[in-house]
Structure 1
Amino acid sequence: MSQAPLSIQLDLAIIGGGVAGLWLANRAKSAGFNVALFESKALGSDQTLASQGMIHGGMKYTLAGALTGASEAIAEMPKHWRACLCGEGDVNLRHTRILSDHFFMWSSDDLGSKITGFLASKITRGRVDQVHSDRRPPLLRHPLFTGSLYRLEDLVIDAPSLVANLAHNIEGRCFQIDWSSAQLNKNADGEVSISVNTGDQHIQIHAQRFIFTAGKGNAELLRELGLESPAMQLRPLQQVMVKHHHPFDFYGHCLGRETTPRLTISSHRLPDGGHVWYLGGSLAEKGAQLPADELIELAKQELQELIPWMNLEGAEWATLHVERAEPLQANFVRPDNAFIARAEGASNLLVGWPTKLTLAPNLANQAFELLQADGITPSAGTGNLHDYLPYAEIAKTPWEIAFPPAISAEEALALRFREPDEDDVE
């Protein structure tokens, strides 16, 4: 006889292990909910670890010369994140690495970008400081730099350490789910559940609320349930990665004539200590559909024009396709805020997109408002998944994948400190 199905009852079942799902799971655990997170690939894969890690307060949305809904909605986000990084916020991020406690906006020396920078600084007075020539970062201290430079009181975090910190906070609650042996179900009352066949055990997972935070995967999850709303749009990007030999870490936006920064640069380290610049902004948007080699040539031209004193001879280049998932908007405009809503046609399902890394806390706040409105409260739950599903691992960064080391970081460290052989001793 086949074994009877094992029934697991959760308060919250979160599907999607990026920053949105992890942040929400952290909040849920702190609030006493019996919560489990399910990830089909690896924690942080796709959109989260493809982020440049910039926790901004909307400054780049002022480039059109007026404060937008988006810039006002996220103005308090850097303050919120700073509190969490100090262990004083709603999520404990004390073990998250800060790459920089500020970043820059700079203009090239053409008139259009100078005017854009001037407008951005004037209407956000108190939130942007102009940088004098003797306080420039090393990258922009060259005599050939003749543009304007502003310092933003925002910050840049290391996305891999963020994912690791969030996952550690909820250790034992992040599970790997294989959709080839698991299935989403919806009964006649619209109640969603998951059935999992581990080979030895058939499991039925129920929850007061399922919450989809799987980025672009939300659409496929909804389709499996025969649902279409809330609908999604994708904003395709193609980022450029440059492995170089310069010791300059830099984080900033170059302003152009458009409302999107002409170029965004963030700096990252490989496990072997190598330096990588990660390039976004208009370059990534316009290059979304270009062949990789054409986009790399365009990136080389941009860097040659904007920072011609930097010699990138011998640098290694790669690109990364990213599809930023957002709730569907009229005329494909950018959403002003994080988004989460009840799914139409399901009685216990919420679907959300943070739209930006910065807004992950905002999505969690909205989720808790919906849970409170629906009267969802913590319970003891029944059963556990620890004996049946493996724990989810953390994904590699795009630059680790693009530029694999000739030897591992452990091997490199061992070589540095190895004991001398007899042949080494004269």
Structure 2
Amino acid sequence: MSQAPLSIHLDLAIIGGGVAGLWLANRAKSAGFSIALLESKALGSDQTLASQGMIHGGMKYTLAGALTGASEAIAEMPKHWRACLCGEGDVDLRHTRILSDHFFMWSGDDLSSKLTGFLASKITRGRIEPVREDRRPPLLRHPLFAGSLYRLEDIVIDTPSLIANLAHNIEGHCFQIDWSQAQLHKNADGIVSLNIATPEQPIEIHAQRFIFTAGKGNAELLQQLGLANPVMQLRPLQQVMVKHHHPFDFYGHCLGRETTPRLTISSHRLPDGSYIWYLGGSLAEKGASMAPEELIEQAKQELVELIPWANLTGARWATLPIERAEPLQPGLVRPDNAFIAQADGAANLLVGWPTKLTLAPNLANQALSLFDDAGITPSTNRINLHDYLPYAKLAKTPWELAFPPAMSAEEALARRLNITDEEGEPTEDDN
């Protein structure tokens, strides 16, 4: 006879371990809710670690010479994140690395006159400032540089450390789920539950609210339940990664004539200290339909045109296809804000997309407001799911996967320290 499932009752079951799910889990745990976050791959995989880590206030959307709805919706986000990074916000991010406390916008001569007037106007005052020639970053400190350069008082964070920080805050609450052994169910009253066949015994998870924060995976989860709303849209990208030898970092947007920066550059490091440029912006949007080799050639041409003095001889190149998942918008335009709403036909299910890394706190605020409106309050249930499910692991960055090290970190350390065996001979790895 098959074993009867064990019923486990939680306040909140969050499915999806990217920044949206982790941030919401942090807020919910602090509010006293019993929570479990369930991730099928690894924490931060797909969209979150594919982000360039720029926590911006929307100024990059001023390319038409006016502030847009998108820029105004997120204008306060850098201030919110800074408070959290100082341990003074609604989520403690004191263990998240800040890669840069600012980033840059630059333009060529053809756009300088138009942008200078607008970016110096009172509407942008305090959010952006021109950069003097002697204060340029190393990459743009070259006689051939021409155009306008502005510094944004926004920040760039290290997304792997962000995910590790958020997961550490809720240690013991992030679990791995294998969908080949699990199934969502919805009863006649529209109440969602989750059955999982674990090695010990089958479990049936019930929750006051299930929340889908699985990005692109939300559509598949809804399909399991026979639901279609909220509807998702996908905006494909293909980013470019360049492993180079320039001994400095750079974070900035090159402005073009479109509503997206012509090129966005962020800098990252591999575990061995190697430098990576991660290229996004319009290049990545237009590159979504290109073959990797074609996009890499396009990226090389862009860099030659925009920063011809940068010597990329011997650089290694790779691309990363991404599908940004968002709530459906008229004309498939970019959403202005984070989104979370109750699923049609399910009484205890919410579905959300942060739409941008920057807006993860906004999604959590919306979710907590929905709990309050529905009268959802913390219970006394405290269940340790680790008796049945393994803990979720942290994902690797796209550049770690694209440029795997020639040797492990342990092997590299042994080589540097010239470790020998007990007889004084070099270890096998050193031969």
TM-score (norm 2): 0.96
What SS does the aligned partner of 1:355 have? coil
Measure the CA separation in 1 of the matches of 2:35 and 2:72. 32
- Counterpart for residue 321 of structure 1: 321
Question: C-alpha displacement at 1:226, in angstroms?
Answer: 0.7
Deviation string 1:336-376 (CA, Å, 9 cap, x unpaired) is 10000011100000000000000000000000010000000
Measure the CA separation in 1 of the matches of 2:383 and 2:28. 18
Question: C-alpha displacement at 1:64, in angstroms?
Answer: 1.4
Cα 1:52–1:121 change in 2 (3 A) is: farther
- Counterpart for residue 72 of structure 1: 72
Measure the CA separation in 2 of the matches of 1:117 and 1:290. 34
What SS does the aligned partner of 1:25 have? helix
Deviation string 1:84-119 (CA, Å, 9 cap, x unpaired) is 00111000000000000000001123x135524543
Deviation string 1:299-328 (CA, Å, 9 cap, x unpaired) is 000000000001101000000000011100
Question: C-alpha displacement at 1:382, in angstroms?
Answer: 5.7
- Counterpart for residue 217 of structure 1: 217
Question: C-alpha displacement at 1:410, in angstroms?
Answer: 2.5
What SS does the aligned partner of 1:41 have? coil
CA RMSD of aligned residues (A): 1.4
What SS does the aligned partner of 1:386 have? helix
Q: What are structure 1's unaligned runs of at least 5 residues? A: none
Q: Counterpart of 1:112 in structure 2: which amino acid?
A: L
**2:226 is the alignment partner of 1:226:** yes
Measure the CA separation in 2 of the matches of 1:159 and 1:114. 35
**Further displaced range: 412-421 or 380-389:** 412-421
Question: C-alpha displacement at 1:61, in angstroms?
Answer: 1.1
Measure the CA separation in 2 of the matches of 1:193 and 1:362. 27
Say if 2:34 and 2:382, in contact at 8 Å, map to a contact too.
no
Measure the CA separation in 2 of the matches of 1:114 and 1:17. 45
Measure the CA separation in 2 of the matches of 1:113 and 1:400. 37
Deviation string 1:124-153 (CA, Å, 9 cap, x unpaired) is 122100000000000000100011100000
- Counterpart for residue 295 of structure 2: 295
Q: Counterpart of 1:392 in structure 2: which amino acid?
A: A
Cα 1:121–1:186 change in 2 (3 A) is: farther
**2:255 is the alignment partner of 1:281:** no
Question: C-alpha displacement at 1:67, in angstroms?
Answer: 1.2
Say if 1:63 and 1:119, in contact at 8 Å, map to a contact too.
no
- Counterpart for residue 93 of structure 1: 93
Deviation string 1:29-60 (CA, Å, 9 cap, x unpaired) is 00000000000000000000000000000011
What SS does the aligned partner of 2:277 have? strand
**2:211 is the alignment partner of 1:208:** no
- Counterpart for residue 148 of structure 1: 148
Q: Counterpart of 2:64 in structure 1: which amino acid?
A: A
Cα 1:415–1:114 change in 2 (3 A) is: farther
Measure the CA separation in 2 of the matches of 1:232 and 1:326. 6
Q: What are structure 2's unaligned runs of at least 5 residues? A: 427-431
Cα 1:117–1:236 change in 2 (3 A) is: farther
**2:413 is the alignment partner of 1:413:** yes
**2:114 is the alignment partner of 1:115:** yes
Deviation string 1:192-250 (CA, Å, 9 cap, x unpaired) is 00000114311000000000000011011111111111101001000000000111200
Q: Work out the number of aligned pairs and report it.
A: 423
Question: C-alpha displacement at 1:121, in angstroms?
Answer: 4.2
Measure the CA separation in 2 of the matches of 1:114 and 1:166. 43
TM-score (norm 1): 0.97
Say if 1:7 and 1:383, in contact at 8 Å, map to a contact too.
no
- Counterpart for residue 258 of structure 1: 258
Cα 1:420–1:191 change in 2 (3 A) is: closer
